[in-house]
Structure 1
């Protein structure tokens, strides 16, 4: 009996350091920095019901006179079968430090980095960060804008085409920002940046300033965003204020909202968009974007001064595995009969009805 007891005791004593060593290995494994690769690819088919579906050069028109084939928004504007972009995001996340290298290839990516130099126009985001503690993180480099409801990657949006507010607000910023976590619900951000969308360097020696105050809980979030700074060699500073919010009102119904105002010495825009979405099953949902967008009276950036646009976009979303299929119907209507589009007879019109179906694979 004693021999057996001693044997068990010896086994127990022998297993203690083994358990400690194994726990140390597990802890090391859990604390090991994580390297990730993810991204998406997308393609689509697009056609107009009452508008031109071919290049103006082929029919003897002036391509500079009208925007004949699509709304004056970013992405998803090409007729027929087309592709968006391949997006590869490399990440390295440690306890304190890490980086993100976000690369894009294709027309959608080129539109997103339109002010980049040809040698670096595949870089969508490129930054490093340092977490001082749970309440403070610094980021240095190039990151996608913090303003607006929508993002560049189609995998991050419910609608495949993008809004006017997103298309004519900033896409990217390069600079230094500090993110603050005040408690479990409230966050903040302060940033100093190059002029917007100048990603590699600062060509004019002037800087912009950004700020954000955010609140979130289990049902949704709201963010108030500010941007201020001179964007060119002129002394006129851009000012933009933006509110982005979205809430799960029920398990099946979500409602998002984005409203923004941008002004640079009388040139700019303002608008508002609602994003209701309803989940009909685990794999299929319907969503709408209803947007009102208006140019400022002293100068327009899209269709002309004091011109407004109403755009209704209805999107279905069917997901299976990493693949999402999105059929989408859209109507754009420009105020005051402004000849923003061409119909099939090459006559100017202020309305455009279009349809697309997109396929997005996210990994």
Structure 2
């Protein structure tokens, strides 16, 4: 059990109200897309999903509407790093709103379940300022530590299964052969101290749970008001407690970013070998995008293999003496910007 004062040190997910309301955009799905589609871009109030809905005037079927799990967003980009249509006709059609450049009004989202299988989605906003808001705040939601290390309750809520699981448990208590339908606060104190507490903990630094700790849990998680007034915890309330943030295996405050104040030798540094490769070391492709993805994943030591280029005397990055396709050193360095 975590100390209650520690649980809420990490900032909860905060979704900009304008994201919930929705923003008029044009969306452009990849460099091979042959269309820019008008629609509305939204985020649900819990910050679980990003979704965009095509306007009726686009003539597209409802199946063209898309949804993206925000937890797999790896990066957001705008300005020179945004991916915009190359076709002049598409650019003219999508360039609505303010007179800012199309790149400045575009937010490109990099997403994927791993570093290599990354795809890009571009959304063209009405102004540079609107694009900047989505660029900054969407990434904050995606990298919120409290959401990335959420409780069982949060993930059930995300899957819209929380009420279903609670119903299944509370309607099948007889199979568990429970003599009572609730725990008293004394029984809850015994559970906290004898079952849940790690006996190796120091008693002074981590004191045993007491009556007040049990009552706090009952008041927080018991859904029945009559049970609360009698200081009883039903099995639904007990389950809500077990799947809550208070019962995470790692304290949330330990996940927070902190300043590195000790000598470098006190830390593990995530490093990367042949960072530029998208596959094997003999015949795969090199990509400057791999440097971005490695850095976003927490890597702080990357490898650049510089070689003399055969054309225009420009240096390249490549796995030497193999069939790996090269990239310009300039593009690899630009990826760090």
Which structure's residues are more often strand, by fraction? 1
Shorter chain as denominator, the TM-score bin is under 0.3
TM (normalized to structure 1)? 0.19
Which structure's residues are more often helix, by fraction? 2
